[in-house]
Structures are given as C-alpha cells and as structure tokens.
Chains A and B, each alone.
Chain A
C-alpha cells in the first residue's frame, strides 16, 4: 500500500529524471525570476476570478522548470489584497491527495502584489527579517501563466506550515518542531484587537486565532493556552510579568519582531493602525512557549520618518513588555541593529530585485496600477533605506540618550 502510494505520487508529479535535481531552494531561489504555468478549466478560472472573495478550491496542473505537477488545488487568498482581475492564489499540493508534496512542500502562495506598487516590499522585508533572525517565509518572484496566457508578476511565498516550522525551528531537545500548534491571526473586520482580555470563554480567541495544525484536538488544548496567555498578560503586575509570561511567550523574540517590523515602517502589523494584523503564532511542540512568525509585509516601507514608538502603548502586550527596562532597552537596541544590517544591504537588495522583476512588471497586464505608478513607487522605495537608517539612528539616540549620529536634524 505504502509503495503504491509512493508510486502514485511520483506518477502524479510527473517526475522526469532532471526533476530529482530540483530542490525547494531552487523553487524559492530569489536570484531567478521563476516561470510558473497553471492549467485549469476555463470556467474554473472565470469562477475563481468572479468569486474571488470565496476560498473555493479548483483543480489545476502546474508546470515549473520542466516539471509537471498534477492533481493540485488552487484558491483565491488574501484579505485586503484580494482582486478579481489578478487574484492572489494559494496553491495546495495535498488538497486532493493527503500527503502529496512537491519538492517537500505541501503548498505555497502566489501573492498578487496588488497592494505593493513596487512589487518588492514584502520580499525585501521577509529577507530582512530572516537576516535579523526572525522567523519569516522564503520568497521569490515569478511570471505566472494561466492556461498559456500571461497572468502577471507574482511573489512566490513559502507557506507558513509544519514544513516551514521544521525548517525554521529545526530540532529542539531532539524533537523536530513540526507538530506544534500553528495559528494564523484572523483580522476580524470592525473589531480591532490589541491583546485585551476578552473573557474566559474561548470563542473570541477561536475567532482571532485560526488553527492550522492539530485541528481535531480539544478546543481547550488548542485555544486554552492562548486565553491563559492573554489573561496573564493583562493581569500580571510588572514585577512578576517576565517570570510569568516568558515561559508562555518568548519575550525577547517578540521584542525583536516588533522592532524589526517598526524599522520596515509596517503600519499594518502587530502594532498596526487597526489593531493587530498579519502574523502567524506558533506554540512550540511539547511546550507552552509561543513565538510570532512574520507574514504579509507588503504594505511596509510606509515612510522613512515612521515613528519608532508608534502605537507602542496601544497594545497591552507591547506596552507591558516595553515597560520593563530590559526589554525597552532591547527594543531600541534591535532598531539600531536593524539600521546597521540595512546599511550594508537593503538598498542593494531592493535594486537587485527591482532589476529582476522590471520587465515582467511592465508587461503585467493585470496589475491594479499603472506603469507610471510602479515607476514612481520604485523610486520612492529605493530612497527609503538611506533616509530610514538615518531617521532610526537619530530617534534611537534621542530615546536612549546616546550620542547623536551625523545627519540628525
């Protein structure tokens, strides 16, 4: 039976011998503009585009680098980025066949770049987060062809799933971290949330934390620890905050995450303008400890002078954590570290990626912005790193009382 399944999957994926040489790193290789072909029934493509607000799956075949993958499922995805003309897509290899994988992946995302006129904000942000040691998905770009027609330039984004958890966290105490509790934060329209306690009932937490693994476990096992974490964050006084919360949430990693997100001037992230948004939350396997995973950073790089303390007091978790001198100091320290990391790298990386996608972006017939808007945004983004680095360094010096660097106003 097992052999038959393996044989079936091999046939399904249409592996020819050169395909065995391909790896996930090839698929997410950021140095290459990928070409991905999807083939699906014309009525399905029309349905998907018309019903782009729905998560209905459609069957498709995929061709990448000479490899044909059959029997996969695609659906529209995104929140504010959903578009009919150029749908964001989730590609699931195991939707119709449990266990079917492609290069070890169960799925990936084709980000339609509809909110990112430059086309590179998210891929640069994710790469930057990774450089700072923050869990973030791998990304590259691709020309997408649907039924033989160019459907536009897309970002190819690694799915945040068990496979990625195993890759990012590896083995802890001999246990590969691929079976913890993974949640996608669900932004509830009209109900901004800033980590305030919502009572002992689990329903509010079920609504906001969409479980992605171990779905069949008892609700108390899945969401009970989140309710407990939120309650303790809200109720625990400062003198016992660190010792109480740290076993349940890696506070140092959390501070690193929000500082890096602030550096990239992301206004729709954890400390977003309308409450928390755009992240995954992972409870490590056989542990009570949670960590944040970066996700959906395509509206970052808002402005070089995006305040480094923007909304730090609005969110209960952020406020109570940064009220502790050690973590406040760490926050500004990470901002400084981010500025240093960006100085040698960010503009060059932006330029490299822009050069890579330029022709594909100009030829993209479905993008919801003009080529002039793309060109203007491209220039604006390229100007961001230098101005931001200076601004952050100056503001950090103000906050910490350290020596003012050159260029501060």
Chain B
C-alpha cells in the first residue's frame, strides 16, 4: 500500500504537467519536441517518441466482493518512432504488481501473507511496420491479431473503462507474427491477414504442459488470422451518413494441444465464471463487426464465436462435443460537446484553453456465454463433461467520459453484471452461500496517456 501512495505523489506531478501542457509545433524543429507526446526529432520522418499511460481506478461494489476499492489498472511505458517514411516501430511494456512466489514463501503465499511488488511485466507492442504502399503493408513482431473491433482499439481510446468480455476472452489479442495488410478500392475495403506464433495472449496456455512417455511436447499454434473491413454502403443508394458505416468479418484458426487449455470465462473483476475445460484439436473463431460514427455519435456492435475441439477428452477417452464461446455487444455513444466521433477523438476546447474539454456519454450491453455443442443428456460443470452446463455473464454499462485535454481523461462507469449460474457467480464477501446473481459496481478512472 505504501508503494501505491508514493507512486501517487509522482503521478500527481505528471497529471498537473499533462493538464497544463500546451502542444508545441513540431514542424521544422529538431531535438526535443512535445507535440502529442515527448519526442526527439532527428530529421524529417526520423524520430523517437516517449509514450506512457496510467489508469487509476476507484471502485465500489454492491454487494461487496473480494476486490480492492483502489486499483492501478494500467501502467505502461514505451517508445515509438519513424524510420524514414517507409518504416515505423513501437515498443511498449507493462509495469505491474505481482506476488513473487519462492519455495521458501509458498506457505505464506497460500494464506495471502505476502505483499506484491512492482516490476516490469509483459511486453505489449513490439513491432516494426513497413508502410510504403497503401495496398500492401507488412507488420512484423508482437502486436494485436486482426480479430475484434474493440480488442484492436487502444486501451486509452475505449468508449468505456473496460472492454467487453468477448473482446478480452474470445478475441485473441497480441501475439508474435507477421501480417500483411492494406487498403483497396480507394480505401473503402481494408484487409489484414497474418500468421502468428501462438494464439494470442487471451488464448495462451495456462496449464503447465504435460506429455506421457514417448509423446512429443506440443505447443499451441501456429495460428492464422484474417479480417476484412469495408464501407459496404458506400456504393449503395442510402443516406450519406450511413455510407461511412464499416462492416467487417474476421476469422482465426489454430491448433490447441491436450490439456485444460480452452478459452476461459472471466468477468470484469477477474472472477472465473467458466473455468477452462479439456480440449485437443483446432480452435476456430469467427467474428462480425459494425462501426458507424455519424457526427458526434457512435454505434458499435460485434458478434464473435469460438469453437474448440475436444478430441479424446472424455473420462473414457472418447471425443467430446465442441466447446463454444459466444459473445456479442452493442453500444451507443454521444459526444455532448459536439466533437466528431472519429478515430482521434480530442477536445476542440481543452480545459484551461478556453473550454471545458470533451464530454461523452454512452451505454453498452454485452453478453458472453460458454457451453458445449451438445445439449442433450445431463449437464455438468466438470471440464470433461460432454454436455457442459452453460454459464453466461450479461453486463450493462452506462457511463460518461470527460477528456480534459488530449492526455487526461476521467471515466465514470456503472456496471450491472448478471450471471446465469448462481454457483459460478462471485461470492458476497464473508458469505458461505451462493447468490445473488446480479452485481452492481461503479468506477471512476483517472487516465493519463501520451
């Protein structure tokens, strides 16, 4: 806890600096420049930018569950830059709080008597991008696989504090790979297709791998992912505002080795409402997305489904029916202060620069369900059941965003989470019994991103 307070002091200094900062023009300047972010400019199209982001949440739960009221959700630092007009690159790393487990302190860890420490955690984006031609660009390194509209939206540009459960549990997220992408037909159709080492951070193996004598150790992947997004209404006789609506379809396919390696159901606060089940075989995802931002409003919707094979996974080594995850959401937002809802939402009149900043309100409903393909016989919760008792979480989110300036954002969201299976819903703090199945929670977030 002391670590939190001392970091808080430093963060306040950053907040003050960010709130008062005025962008300086970078044109025709070399050396240190602060435009969108601190940058060292070596020449035209050769520069190194410092990027960082922090999200601090104050939270409230009703009824109370075993979660802290204060959380540093995100703490990241990175560099990005251009190498001539043909290449750009980016590296970013998470700083997170973890409990270090050793042989000596295992007993204390088990009873929660070990304090976590801050340290550099996972690498986020680490890639280089070749972008000479619009119709064919190549990205290589570690970056987000082309699946999921919201998953591919930066954490600091989200409409709400959290992504939907489908975007974080079904969509694969980042992985190492190489991807070709570009725009066709004058930019009205965008494509992405890549090959990746594993199956994304959200689909990675969590159980230690195990092989019997004489078997080879198998890894997850490689995976193939592709997405096509187009303005399909552009050439149709519809209202002009609708012509900008984007519709996309995405697909991934990979191999998953035997084990408790399926996708898992985890709610907003990290509670496992559907533990992984035993799988073996192919994992396949399909997704549909809709994104329409007429003027100051935004309307988004996605539907996605994962299917995982369970070959030879029954108690008597027979095949089980596929494990299926299905998610969808729909959301609507409105920028009250009138700015356009485009890809770079920034206030026209920042605070302390003649304005109040940008205010946006919105609402979203999302649902994530896990179940088996078979729905006959007796349903069980165990991970080798042919008919898995389904569970789903539906979340209604309503909230407001206040962008003080381009770097500082305050988010206030309320969540209503509803669980289908009472035995796989969070327990009320101090309760020995199941229930309820509906939980309210609220969050106020201060975000600084540059």
Taking Cβ atoms with an 8 Å cutoff, the residues of A that contact B are 8, 11-12, 39-44, 46-47, 50-51, 59-61, 70-71, 73, 95-98, 147, 188, 203, 206-207, 214-218
Contacts and interface: CB of A to CB of B under 8 A. Distances in A.
B316 interface: yes
B102 interface: no
Contacts of B431: 216
B378 A43 contact: no
B108 A207 contact: yes
Contacts of B258: 43
Interface string B88-127: 0000000000000000000110010100000000000000
B108 A96 contact: no
A59 B383 contact: yes
Interface residues of B, number: 29
B344 interface: no
Contacts of A206: 111, 113
Rank and list the top 4 A-B pairs by shortest CB-CB distance, nearest first. Answer: A96-B382, A59-B382, A59-B384, A71-B380
A59 B313 CA distance: 11
Given A41-B313, A71-B380, A216 B429 contact: yes
Nearest to A73: B382
Given A216-B429, A216-B431, A217-B430, A41 B384 contact: yes
Contacts of A73: 382
A11 B387 CA distance: 13
B315 A216 contact: no
Contacts of A11: 378
Contacts of A46: 210, 212
B425 to A, nearest CB: 12
B133 to A, nearest CB: 49
A403 to B, nearest CB: 51
Given A43-B258, A207-B108, A214-B432, A61 B315 contact: yes
B60 interface: no
B201 interface: no
Contact of B382 (A8, A71, A203): A71
B427 interface: yes
Which of A188, A206, A217 has the largest number of chain B CB atoms within 10 A?
A206
A96 B313 contact: no
Main secondary structure of the interface of A (DSSP, over half): mixed
B154 interface: no
Given A43-B258, A207-B108, A207-B111, A97 B378 contact: no
Nearest to B213: A46
B434 A98 contact: yes
Contacts of A8: 378-379
B113 A203 contact: yes
B108 A203 contact: yes
A61 B379 CA distance: 14
Contact of B385 (A40, A71, A214): A71
Contacts of A61: 315
Contacts of A42: 317
Given A39-B315, A216-B427, A216-B429, 12 more contacts: A41-B313, A43-B210, A50-B210, A51-B210, A70-B380, A71-B382, A97-B380, A188-B107, A203-B113, A206-B111, A207-B108, A218-B430
Nearest to A97: B381
A218 B432 CA distance: 12
Given A46-B212, A59-B315, A98-B434, A41 B278 contact: yes
Contact of A203 (B111, B314, B432): B111
29 contacts: A8-B379, A39-B315, A39-B316, A41-B312, A41-B313, A41-B314, A41-B315, A41-B316, A42-B317, A43-B258, A44-B384, A47-B210, A59-B382, A59-B383, A71-B381, A96-B382, A98-B423, A147-B316, A188-B107, A203-B108, A203-B111, A203-B113, A206-B111, A214-B432, A215-B432, A216-B429, A216-B431, A216-B432, A217-B430
